[in-house]
Structure 1
């Protein structure tokens, strides 16, 4: 007959799984934020884009860049352009769907998207139509952010559910073996 200590083991497995899921989520979300290139606008930046595909431009309504906090509810009148290293203009369009994020003091919503056929250096420019210099805000550019977030959530849930299943299995096996052992001892 297994000892009651195995009940403690099942609780420890459950706690470890929940802690692991939280750690996995925090570590991966922090890494994803680094993958988004922040650009203070109006302004411009050189983007070193590592893979072909669709890049999403997020308006970070709340953000911090180099210790300065930016808050802007709207980017009305802001025009964005993207150019390849050879000067060719890349079409900027509305994103296929809306996605948002809110983590580490950053809150963003997808506003634009563009496609590149090859990795390389691209010029990103954003200015207001009327030439005004404010309000300053932050745009973040990245690819695969929402997909990465969904994968992170799925992994965290998988770790959590696997831990729950393992803890429950240990608990039930111990419970059933202890009951069987007690009923045999009473005979």
Structure 2
């Protein structure tokens, strides 16, 4: 069985130098209790927002186009984190017969592995405001990719880096399945 993994961090975007309308970065604080609640979140590390709400879906659309271009027909489906709520219209790249948005990617991946499906699982943690959880991470796990997965993944990485991701890990694992 073959599997491939890519991990990257959103370092910049094509939107970085564009002037854009400000969006509220944090919930409105009305009284001392709001500030106390915010202080109690107590994260050990805060990530800098790299995208706003609209830009996030632009970046994800770019990444999905790259994946779809280089995966070919070697995938039955893709599953991806759905980090809702969102009040914005999502671009067409976020929909399709090949993409299923889920809340729990790991649970869905376990089921697809059990069913023997060829799929790509995508988890993203692009931070849109400072109270949002995430580390601007993008993780792709490709289950049962084709034999030429190294070349396909290398081509994806070129596109990912042009889209603003900084690669932290890229690996392919080949496991022998025992026959009885």
**TM-score scaled by length of structure 2:** 0.26
Q: Which has the higher Rg, Structure 1 or Structure 2?
A: 1
More helix by share: 1
